[in-house]
Structure 1
C-alpha cells in the first residue's frame, strides 16, 4: 500500500496490515471532505455561540438583581412620612402638624396591613386597615375599593412615594401623597424627587407640607 492509500485508510478506518490506524470514524455531516480546517472553524463558531448565550444569560440575571419587580419588594417595617401633599381637597384645619411612624406588616398574597397613629382632639388615635394587592405592580386598594394606593420607588434607597386616591361614583374626589422613608432623617435628593412627582401629577407645590415627625404619640395628663 502506497502512502496515498495509507492516508485514506487513516481517516476512513480502513485496516492497514490487519490493524486499524488513525482517528475514529467521523460523520460526513461534520467533516468537509478533505478539509480539516473547516472542522476547526465549526468548533470555533459553536464555542462563540455558547459564549454569547452564557453572556446574555448573565446580563439578564444581573438586571434582575439590580431592579427586582415591585411585587417582590418587602414593605414590612416602620415608615416615616417626610413630606406630604394633597390635591386641594384637604381643609387647612385638618392638615397635621405632627405625624408618627407608620407600621406595615406583609400579609399573605401580597396584602399589606397598615397601622397609622394620629393626634385628634388631644388624644392618640390608632387606625388600622389593609391594602389589598392588585394585579398591577405597585397598586393597592383599600376601604372596599373606595381608595386606590399607588406605591412608587424613588432613586434614593429605602424611599418610596405613596399616593392615595379616593374614588366616588367613578371619579376622583381625594388625593394625598406621602414621601416615606425607612428613617426619619432629611434627604434633599428624595425631597426633590417628591417635588418632581407633584409636578408630574399636576398637583400644586403650595399644597405640599413637611410635618414634624414624632417618635411616639403620648397623651398629656
Structure 2
C-alpha cells in the first residue's frame, strides 16, 4: 500500500501521454521489481492505493473488489451544507462518464455518506452571498463505478470542491485562491480487505494531509 499524493497518476496513460511520472513506476523503481495495481484512484484523488507483487494476487484482490468483499471510506469536501447528517445516494450511473449518458447502460450504484463537519469560509464565490459554505463528508461507495462518489455528490447538488468535471469553475478557482491550493478535495482514507494468502483482515489507512486540518 502507498499513500498516493493528489495529482499523481496511478500508471502512465495515453490520456496523459506527456506525463512520465506515475505511482506504479515510482514504486517499481523503489522496489526494483514489477508491481501490479489492484485498483485505481483518479489522478486528483489522494490516499490509499494498493499494489500487489504478483499478477495472481492482484487478480484475486481484484475479484474481491468486484464482488464487494472490501470496504472503502473516502473524505470529501463539498460545496454547501447538506440538509441531513447522512444518508444513501441510490442513483444508477452510466457506464462511461466521459460519454453522453443517453443510450448507455445504467449500472446500479449506491454511496453511503455522513456529514462530519460544516464550515463557512470568509470568501464570496457567489455575488449573492458574502461567504461560502462547505461540508466535510465521509463517503463509502458500495460499488466502484468510475467517478462514483464525484458523480453521486453532484447528483445531490453538493459537488466536490475542485472537481473540474462535476463542479463549478468560478467556485473552484475562488476557493483554490483562498485556500492556497488547487486540488480535487477527495481522499481515500481507508480500505478494509482480506489478505488473499494469509486470510488476515487488513485495515489500510492513509491520514489526510495537513491541508485537511482546517476542515477536520
How high is the TM-score relative to the length of structure 1? 0.27
Which is helix-richer, 1 or 2? 1
Larger Rg: 1
How high is the TM-score relative to the length of structure 2? 0.27
Q: Which has the higher contact order (CA 8 A, sep 6+)?
A: 2
